[in-house]
Amino acid sequence: MRTAPSLGNPYRYNRYSFAWENVPPSSPAHLDFGCGDGRFLASLKTKGIDRLVGVDISRDVVCRARQRFPELEILHISDTVPLPLGDAQFMSITLMDVIEHIDEQNALLDELNHVLKHDGVLIVTVPNTTTL
């Protein structure tokens, strides 16, 4: 899906641009599941979101993200479920190019549903598949 980037969107036509466009501005909290180095999460600061939380399973990536963006809440998780987060905390969650790496996809989606507010937005992207 191609979404034309709005003014202020730091990304071009890619999954980050799509996700950035669909994360609601001025919300209480956003979760980036599989946040990697934290760059996408940090870009959401311009949207006026009060709490930016990222989780990742890689200790090395979490350490780098914490060093680079100490103002963000970056958590290391040992497993995808359960998450060390309370119910209905997030107005939006991004899960970009991650779900295809998860064995228990239904369990993860159930867990994300618990931490997402009732009227929240879950944004999921998966990589394109090219067959030669």
Residue 56, domain extent: 26-125
Question: 123 with 19: CB under 8 angstroms?
Answer: yes
Where is pLDDT greater, at 8 or 121? Answer: 121
The answer on pLDDT for 40 being more than 80 is yes
CA distance 127 to 129: 6
Residue 57 lies in a domain: yes
pLDDT at 53: 98
- Could you give the count of Cα atoms lying within 13 Å of 18 in the half-sphere of its Cβ? 15
Residue 101 lies in a domain: yes
The answer on pLDDT for 131 being more than 60 is no
Where is pLDDT greater, at 5 or 49? Answer: 49
Residue 66 lies in a domain: yes
Instruction: Provide the number of structural domains found in the chain.
Output: 1
The answer on pLDDT for 7 being more than 90 is no
Give 14's pLDDT tier (boundaries 50, 70, 90): confident
Give 1's pLDDT tier (boundaries 50, 70, 90): low
The CATH number given to whatever domain includes residue 94 is: 3.40.50.150
| Lateral strand order in the sheet of 51-56 | 73-76, 51-56, 29-33, 90-96, 116-125
Tokens of 22: 């669909």
Residue 54 lies in a domain: yes
Residue 11 lies in a domain: no
Residue 130 lies in a domain: no
